[in-house]
Amino acid sequence: MAEPVTACLVIIGNEILSGRTQDTNLKHLALALNDLGVKLVHARVIPDEEKTIVETVNECRGLFNHVFTTGGIGPTHDDITADCIASAFQRKLVISQEIKEIIERREAPPEVMQTRMRMARIPEGATLIENPTGGPHGFQVENVFVLAGVPSVMQAMLSTITKERLGGGQPTHSLTLGAYLSEGQIGKKLGIIQENHPNIDLGSYPFYNADGYGTNLVMRGTDMTALKITFEEVRQMILSFGVEPIQD
Amino acid sequence: MAEPVTACLVIIGNEILSGRTQDTNLKHLALALNDLGVKLVHARVIPDEEKTIVETVNECRGLFNHVFTTGGIGPTHDDITADCIASAFQRKLVISQEIKEIIERREAPPEVMQTRMRMARIPEGATLIENPTGGPHGFQVENVFVLAGVPSVMQAMLSTITKERLGGGQPTHSLTLGAYLSEGQIGKKLGIIQENHPNIDLGSYPFYNADGYGTNLVMRGTDMTALKITFEEVRQMILSFGVEPIQD
């Protein structure tokens, strides 16, 4: 089996670390990447601090095929991501004429326009990432993709990135079976099934609802045949306890 | 001003990285730590892989005052956090008599009991973290606190950890003012206020609602006097645009 194409998400934002804002970009990125044949294998949440951002980006871009960043590309003093990416790649910051024109489309007094122009600054040689919301673009430098932090804008930008641009492989498929059995009851048999299918990622997640408590068994992998065989074994394992499997 | 007591969260869980589950533990931990006088300054999300867990824990426990982990302490094959923490500290895994007794309170057939006993294994010399839900305890080794991944259990465990146990400092306070002004409009003046108050963390977050779009300005810090002065300056700045500040 080919090695998966890996990705890392770097969430830049004091507002996440302070607990003020609930991040939802990680989940959205993970699901989108599954379809693009890229596996999210690591994520970090870091503060809006230049040294930390530069070091984190430089470390992660060496460890993973792709790095996505979210946050810090607005027009205020705490929006320093463009500066940090330029610094990480030892490139100059330049004004993107294309972004400048987008910003100028919305009229504003000179001082406001000047503040907004902060969003036109990109590292020299960066490729743009389109922004279907009509706002300023994101950008890509080598394997680092710089996206907005606001979820609707982040999602719009991400929707323009193709599988070809990421060199994605096989998409990851997922199958789920639930049962009103505890993890303690099925743990041993589940471990044996996992051992027999090393290419399938088999996770178990307890749940509680009005009917009692049970466990969801999630199988993930790129090989649909192996996935279906594992699914059948898990189904039989559940039936062996005299319990009906619950399908999504 | 005293250096803040720092913390890092390590979220162990394929289900977060695959996009199946939305993490909420980060936000809960961040808010709880604010009150305990500890600052969450870093978080990582990593897969259920031994090598990655061991290396991440060892790196992070050297970089931050405290490390919290969530996930991977249940009874199934993918619950390997206890093994990994023992390995990170080069300690043996031992059976905690106290956890064993808790597990034995709930009757079960021998095979189920045996699987459940996996949750009684802790690194030698670990201190327990109580679990008010009645399930097995979490544990602490030096500056690493190992919590459950299920949010209700994680929250229950965390509620038993005192400020004294963490050597926490001053709690962090937060004040917010909103205004129907864009980041572009206020960006420059906001930057000047931030420069004048380096001990206050001043963030700006755009919002959209039925009345239009605006920006929330969030001020955070441990020094209440400096916080109130900053708040008043932000309020005056908003008024200078002829706009009414919106208070939470």
Q: What is the pLDDT of residues B159-201, one digit of tens each?
A: 999 999 999 998 999 999 999 999 999 999 999 999 999 999 9
Domain boundary among A116, A149, A166: A166
Q: What is the pLDDT of residues B38-97, one digit of tens each?
A: 999 999 999 999 999 999 999 999 999 999 999 999 999 889 999 999 999 999 999 999
Cα–Cα nearest to B138, from B181, B180, B96, B184: B96
CB atoms within 10 A of CB A114: 14
Helix (H, G, I), strand (E, B) or coil at A200: coil
Q: Say whether both B201 and B110 belong to one domain.
A: no
Residue A19 φ/ψ, nearest 5 degrees? 90, 0
**What pLDDT score does B132 carry?**
95
Q: Say whether both A124 and A192 belong to one domain.
A: no
Q: Say whether both A78 and A21 belong to one domain.
A: yes
Tokens for A196, please give them.
């027999």
**What pLDDT score does A212 carry?**
83
Domain count across chain B: 2
Residue B210 φ/ψ, nearest 5 degrees? -60, -30
Q: Given CB atoms, is B63 within the 8 Å cutoff of chain A? A: no
H-helix or E-strand spanning residue A67: strand A66-70
Q: Which one of A14, A30, A74 has the shortest CB-CB distance to B19?
A: A30
**What pLDDT score does B45 carry?**
98
- Average pLDDT rounded to a whole number, residues B114-139: 95
Q: Which one of B115, B191, B206 has the shortest CB-CB distance to A184?
A: B115
Q: How far is CA B37 from CA A29, A224, B33, B171, in A?
A: 32, 49, 6, 4
Q: Say whether both A64 and A122 belong to one domain.
A: yes
Q: Which one of A75, A184, A203 has the shortest CB-CB distance to B108?
A: A184
**What pLDDT score does A101 carry?**
95
Spatial neighbors of A141 by CB under 8 A, at least 6 apart, are A85, A89, A91, A123, A125, A126, A127
As separate numbers, helices (DSSP H) first and strands (DSSP E) second, chain B gives: 10, 12
Average pLDDT, chain B: 95
CB A80 within 8 A of CB A118: no
Q: What is the CA radius of gyration of chain B?
A: 22
Inter-chain CB proximity A203 and B17 less than 8 Å: no
Residue B200 DSSP one-character state = S
Question: What CA–CA distance (Å, rounded) separates A219 from A193?
Answer: 11
Inter-chain CB proximity A17 and B40 less than 8 Å: yes
Domain boundary among B132, B150, B166: B166
CB interface of A with B, residues 208-237, below 8 Å: 218, 220
Of A162-176, B109-123, B199-213, which range is least confident? B199-213
**Does the structure show a pLDDT above 80 at B112?**
yes
Read off the CATH number of the domain in which A234 is found: 3.30.70.260
H-helix or E-strand spanning residue A123: strand A121-123
Residue B30 DSSP one-character state = H
CB B166 within 8 A of CB B160: no
Q: Say whether both B94 and B192 belong to one domain.
A: no
∠ CA(B172), CA(B173), CA(B177), 5° rounding? Answer: 140
Tokens for A162, please give them.
């193709």
Q: Say whether both A127 and A197 belong to one domain.
A: no
**Does the structure show a pLDDT above 80 at B2?**
no
Read off the CATH number of the domain in which A32 is found: 3.40.980.10
**Does the structure show a pLDDT above 90 at B211?**
no
Q: Which of B76, B158, B189 to mutate to test the interface with A (most CBs of A within 10 A)?
A: B76
Average pLDDT, chain A: 95
CB interface of A with B, residues 89-128, below 8 Å: 108, 111-116, 118
Q: Given CB atoms, is B240 within the 8 Å cutoff of chain A? A: no
∠ CA(B54), CA(B136), CA(B101), 5° rounding? Answer: 125
**Does the structure show a pLDDT above 80 at B1?**
no
**What pLDDT score does A145 carry?**
98
Complex ipTM value: 0.91
Q: Given CB atoms, is A74 within the 8 Å cutoff of chain B? A: yes
Q: How far is CA A194 from CA B52, B183, B216, in A?
A: 19, 51, 48
Q: Say whether both A177 and A158 belong to one domain.
A: no
| Global model pTM greater than 0.90 | yes
Tokens for B20, please give them.
């199946």
Q: Say whether both B69 and B141 belong to one domain.
A: yes
Regions in chain A scoring below 70 on pLDDT:
1-2
CB A54 within 8 A of CB A46: no
Q: Which of B11, B45, B52, B154 to mutate to test the interface with A (most CBs of A within 10 A)?
A: B45
Q: Residue A30's Cα: distance from chain center in Å?
A: 4
**What pLDDT score does B3 carry?**
82
Question: What CA–CA distance (Å, rounded) separates B46 from A42?
Answer: 5
CB interface of B with A, residues 128-187, below 8 Å: 150, 172, 174, 182-187
Residue A183 DSSP one-character state = H
CB B7 within 8 A of CB B68: yes
Q: Say whether both B128 and B191 belong to one domain.
A: no
Domain boundary among B141, B166, B191: B166
Helix (H, G, I), strand (E, B) or coil at A132: coil
Q: Say whether both B128 and B190 belong to one domain.
A: no
**What pLDDT score does B210 carry?**
82
Question: What CA–CA distance (Å, rounded) separates B135 from A67?
Answer: 39
Q: How confident is the model at residue B239 (pLDDT cuts 50, 70, 90)?
A: very high
Inter-chain CB proximity B74 and A204 less than 8 Å: yes
Q: Say whether both A89 and A145 belong to one domain.
A: yes
Tokens for B94, please give them.
């031992």
Domain span holding position B200: 173-247
Tell me the chain B residues in contact with residue A22 when contact means C-beta distances shorter than 8 Å: 24, 27
Q: Say whether both B156 and B214 belong to one domain.
A: no
**What pLDDT score does A1 carry?**
53
Question: What CA–CA distance (Å, rounded) separates A33 from B24?
Answer: 21
Q: For B191, name the nearest residue in chain A, comparing CA atoms only.
A: A77
